[in-house]
Structure 1
Amino acid sequence: AKYTTIAKGVTVNSNGTKTIDGVLYYSLGGGAYIKAANVDGKAEESEDSTSVKLIHNAYVYDENGKRIKKYEGKAKLTKGTEIDVYGTMTIKGKKYYQLDEEGTAFVKAGNIDKPTIITLKKNAYIYNGEGKTKKKLVKKGKTVKTTEARYIGTKLYYKIGDDQFVKAANVGKVKGTELDPVNEPDGAATVEVPDTEDVNSTKVTTKRVVSLYDIKGQKYANRTFDAGVSQQVSELRYIATSVNSTPQLFFKLASGRGYLKYDDVTMDGKILNPVNTPEQAKADVTVATAADKAKLTQSINEAASVKASELYKLSSSSAKAAYDKAITDGAIVNNNASATIGQVNEAEGAIVAAKAKLNGAKIAVANFNSLTPDEVTAIVKAAANANNVPESAIQFSNNNTTLSIVTNGYTQPLNINDYAVQNSAINR
């Protein structure tokens, strides 16, 4: 209808742009348009698709500049891939190339455009891919081309040649568009540091450059934190390296990636008490028997039924991935004849915690024949999670009564009842 209003935050499909009386609009089909100025991100140009080649590995982002964890089943697009683009868009001041006609998927222009140039603000050693150096310098003020950003251990580097890297901390001016790191930092926490006023959480701050440890009290290779780094922690426990050693206190990172020594950090927030005793810590270093592994074995064996459940299928991609990882890691420990009781208990605890975070459930709607914009958005998200596709691939049609996955011209019908349930008691 003429002058129909679409609520803020609603996602709609567009089949291109059109300039009317000097003003840029998005076409919604059927002679309906919305002003581009009312859409997040400023459209710079629109054109038929053009084939381009990626010069770097590239993450995919949505229209708000937020990273899409999986696009068409892939975590990222690889260097050298030929992709079709539909013009460019500026999102939060940065240039992106649009990957679909609907304008829901983008890659940073730096992964397509000319190389990035960096200028060293300090004399910088050149490192190899293992983080080792022969102390050959790139001098302060030198300008060089970089082809990628990469983490080695927990530190970020720029690649400047074949197996040659300089630390990002020594780089000053960066000319060109931003490069996404091609990997994740080893040992780095993936959780946000809590506000220090949150009395129900605990964080620790490193006193110096410190190592990250495993449940056996052994240092991880190339996993360190710089001085002054804050991390959220979930527990305090004694860890012994052998039955004859003196157990020491460690904080467990909330991300589950390892432990920091009590003496290496300062603590803020909720005070944690040890979850075990020194005697229990010594017992934990003994090799686990089949009886010790019974609970872990049971949790692994029930994974198939969990993954077949609505609870799992409709959970977020991150929650499912965390559960999958816990099961995979647990199976490795369970099959290890030398695994200690401590390793087995840790693996079992990780599965229990990951399962508890699965929160999938059907979306309750008032009337399938008259879905609200919020209900449509929630169903799209649930269907995308269940089918491991981006939300942009889920489409409604026939006045929001027919649901499908649409990718590369292929349409797969979906049953809306798999993702939503009608509840007439809902008051709109």
Structure 2
Amino acid sequence: MKLSYKLIMVSAAALMSVSPLVNTTQNVNAATASSKKTTAKKTSTKKAITKKSASTKKSASTKESASTKKSASTKKSASTKKSTSKKAASSKKTTSKKTTSNTIKLIHNAYVYDKNGKRLKTYMGSAKYTTIAKGVTVNSNGTKTIDGVLYYSLGGGAYIKAANVDGKAGNIDKPTIITLKKNAYIYNGEGKTKKKLVKKGKTVKTTEARYIGTKLYYKIGDDQFVKAANVGKVKGTELDPINEPDGAATVEVPDTEDVNSTNVTTKRVVSLYDIKGQKYANRTFDAGISQQVSELRYIATSVNSTPQLFFKLASGRGYLKYDDVTMDGKILNPVNTPEQAKADVTVATAADKAKLTQSINEAASVKASELYKLSSSSAKAAYDKAITDGAIVNNNASATIGQVNEAEGAIVAAKAKLNGAKIAVANFNSLTPDEVTAIVKAAANANNVPESAIQFSNNNTTLSIVTNGYTQPLNINDYAVQNSAINR
């Protein structure tokens, strides 16, 4: 509230009064004129002196009165100014107090931390309150610096980072800059990529951190994200993720996990080839597209042809000609010789298919295992595809040795990526929120249902699949194992 004061100044003017001297002349005889004139003059002079004295006293009195009034006015003015100054100071103090209100508004989603800067697993009696949404106004009773980071106290040992508060962090307008420690693919908001790269060592501005699925990403442009696993240094305002992971957060390996990985970049629009050196129809890469590759090999189109070098894509989708790309990273040596490449073109015999046949036959036992059932959906899908593709090659009477070897290698690689395992918990009767989340995810993977269909009940001791009103009980021991050695 603004206060307006009107200062009234009182001034006094000295009133000066002066009485004129008046000489009265009377007509008298000539003989007495001089005497009487003298007497009259004296009398007149005396009267004039008396009047002048009175006038002087009156003037002095007036001056004294004016001086007294002026002094009083001055004191009153000083008093008024002092009073006004006090009121102004009081007003200023009040405004300052209101300006430094303990109400703060969030401009980002904010995690709640403890006094040591560690994220709280529960807040206000629930795990769902450990993240406060953007736009929410909360009360704070002060600030605290933890490990060099400024926090606002919410009371009760709970804190949020000041960087998430509107204008309160001091450096809130300082952009967040990330430096890539690995070559990083650019993903869209759905976690899909066209394999375009941001080069290792590149420094870019990021506007938010967010989870896509269970993996953490940094946003670097309109619908453009890079995995946090590929990021090294982070400078500027620290960003908390704007959302929670869709399940238990996973530590994603970088796009180019091996520092000695090899990447190639297309020189022009180029075709993709198969293991027989034949172009795939309508499968090309634009110029300037970077891809990670896993091997360099000779491929011959026939027994009598001259083998040429090709890079195999790490994704396993095909091959790029050596002459169509530029390479950076670890130098790869050919995995075969030109002579072996010519041999690979020949039709495979039953003996050549022995290993492939064995891998296909063991698929049933693999799919029944804990390793497969508790793996991620993507890992299981990759294994299933490798088995399906391998069976097609195995049943093809004209399949070449090269095709058979490639199919067998794909199955072996896919099986190696199956990582299913039971969730280790400290106590089945007292599961933590993180343990509950992990078990739900494992049960959903094992039963090929969405995580929302998996429900706990009876204080998280009973597990079920609930879909369309139908409830199917599950055995929690199929997805978790108790390990009393776990420290919480």
Q: Counterpart of 1:18 in 2: which secondary structure?
A: strand
8 Å CA contact 2:163–2:237 kept in 1: the answer is no
Matches of 1:235 and 1:140, distance apart in 2: 21
- Normalised by the length of structure 1, the TM-score is 0.57
Once the 2 structures are TM-superposed, how far is the Cα of residue 359 of structure 1 from its aligned partner?
0.8
Once the 2 structures are TM-superposed, how far is the Cα of residue 411 of structure 1 from its aligned partner?
1.4
Once the 2 structures are TM-superposed, how far is the Cα of residue 194 of structure 1 from its aligned partner?
6.7
Matches of 1:183 and 1:20, distance apart in 2: 23
Once the 2 structures are TM-superposed, how far is the Cα of residue 7 of structure 1 from its aligned partner?
14
Once the 2 structures are TM-superposed, how far is the Cα of residue 120 of structure 1 from its aligned partner?
35
8 Å CA contact 1:153–1:223 kept in 2: the answer is no
Once the 2 structures are TM-superposed, how far is the Cα of residue 258 of structure 1 from its aligned partner?
0.3
Once the 2 structures are TM-superposed, how far is the Cα of residue 201 of structure 1 from its aligned partner?
1.1
Once the 2 structures are TM-superposed, how far is the Cα of residue 427 of structure 1 from its aligned partner?
1.4
8 Å CA contact 1:110–1:179 kept in 2: the answer is no
Give the 3 Å change call, closer, same or farther, for CA 220–116 of structure 1 in structure 2.
farther
Deviation string 1:389-418 (CA, Å, 9 cap, x unpaired) is: 111111111111011111222211110000
Matches of 1:119 and 1:10, distance apart in 2: 31
Larger radius of gyration between Structure 1 and Structure 2: 2
Give the 3 Å change call, closer, same or farther, for CA 185–378 of structure 1 in structure 2.
closer
Matches of 2:421 and 2:475, distance apart in 1: 15
Once the 2 structures are TM-superposed, how far is the Cα of residue 219 of structure 1 from its aligned partner?
0.0
Deviation string 1:280-327 (CA, Å, 9 cap, x unpaired) is: 000000000000000000000000010011110001000000000000
- Normalised by the length of structure 2, the TM-score is 0.50
Once the 2 structures are TM-superposed, how far is the Cα of residue 180 of structure 1 from its aligned partner?
28
Matches of 1:426 and 1:141, distance apart in 2: 39
8 Å CA contact 1:127–1:134 kept in 2: the answer is yes
Give the 3 Å change call, closer, same or farther, for CA 181–111 of structure 1 in structure 2.
farther
8 Å CA contact 1:314–1:382 kept in 2: the answer is yes
Give the 3 Å change call, closer, same or farther, for CA 308–19 of structure 1 in structure 2.
farther
8 Å CA contact 1:153–1:187 kept in 2: the answer is yes
Instruction: Name the counterpart of 1:381.
Output: 441
* Residues 148-157 or 361-370, more deviating: 148-157
Matches of 1:22 and 1:189, distance apart in 2: 26
Once the 2 structures are TM-superposed, how far is the Cα of residue 146 of structure 1 from its aligned partner?
32
Deviation string 1:156-187 (CA, Å, 9 cap, x unpaired) is: 99999999999999999999999999999999
Deviation string 1:232-258 (CA, Å, 9 cap, x unpaired) is: 111110000001000000000111010
Give the 3 Å change call, closer, same or farther, for CA 145–235 of structure 1 in structure 2.
closer
8 Å CA contact 2:443–2:454 kept in 1: the answer is yes
Give the 3 Å change call, closer, same or farther, for CA 252–338 of structure 1 in structure 2.
same
8 Å CA contact 1:368–1:401 kept in 2: the answer is yes
Structure with the bigger percentage of strand: 1
Once the 2 structures are TM-superposed, how far is the Cα of residue 200 of structure 1 from its aligned partner?
2.1
Give the 3 Å change call, closer, same or farther, for CA 129–196 of structure 1 in structure 2.
closer
8 Å CA contact 1:154–1:223 kept in 2: the answer is no
8 Å CA contact 1:17–1:27 kept in 2: the answer is yes
8 Å CA contact 1:120–1:139 kept in 2: the answer is yes
Q: Counterpart of 1:196 in 2: which secondary structure?
A: coil
Deviation string 1:177-235 (CA, Å, 9 cap, x unpaired) is: 99999999999999999778963211110000000000000000000000000111111
Gaps of 5+ in 1: 42-107
Once the 2 structures are TM-superposed, how far is the Cα of residue 117 of structure 1 from its aligned partner?
35
Structure 2 counterpart of 1:237, from 280, 294, 297: 297
8 Å CA contact 1:10–1:377 kept in 2: the answer is no
Gaps of 5+ in 2: 1-126
Give the 3 Å change call, closer, same or farther, for CA 24–414 of structure 1 in structure 2.
farther
Structure with the bigger percentage of helix: 2
Give the 3 Å change call, closer, same or farther, for CA 280–11 of structure 1 in structure 2.
farther
8 Å CA contact 1:193–1:203 kept in 2: the answer is no
* Number of equivalences: 362
Give the 3 Å change call, closer, same or farther, for CA 265–183 of structure 1 in structure 2.
farther
8 Å CA contact 1:191–1:255 kept in 2: the answer is no
Once the 2 structures are TM-superposed, how far is the Cα of residue 269 of structure 1 from its aligned partner?
1.1
* Residues 316-325 or 172-181, more deviating: 172-181
Identical pairs, percent = 99
8 Å CA contact 1:193–1:232 kept in 2: the answer is no
Structure 1 runs of 4+ with >4 Å offset = 1-41, 108-198
8 Å CA contact 1:214–1:258 kept in 2: the answer is yes
CA RMSD of aligned residues (A): 12.3
Give the 3 Å change call, closer, same or farther, for CA 140–29 of structure 1 in structure 2.
closer
Q: Counterpart of 2:473 in 1: which secondary structure?
A: strand
Once the 2 structures are TM-superposed, how far is the Cα of residue 367 of structure 1 from its aligned partner?
0.5
8 Å CA contact 1:160–1:166 kept in 2: the answer is yes
8 Å CA contact 1:187–1:223 kept in 2: the answer is no
Give the 3 Å change call, closer, same or farther, for CA 161–414 of structure 1 in structure 2.
closer
Report whether the alignment pairs 1:410 with 2:470: yes
Matches of 1:327 and 1:229, distance apart in 2: 30
Instruction: Name the counterpart of 1:194.
Output: 254
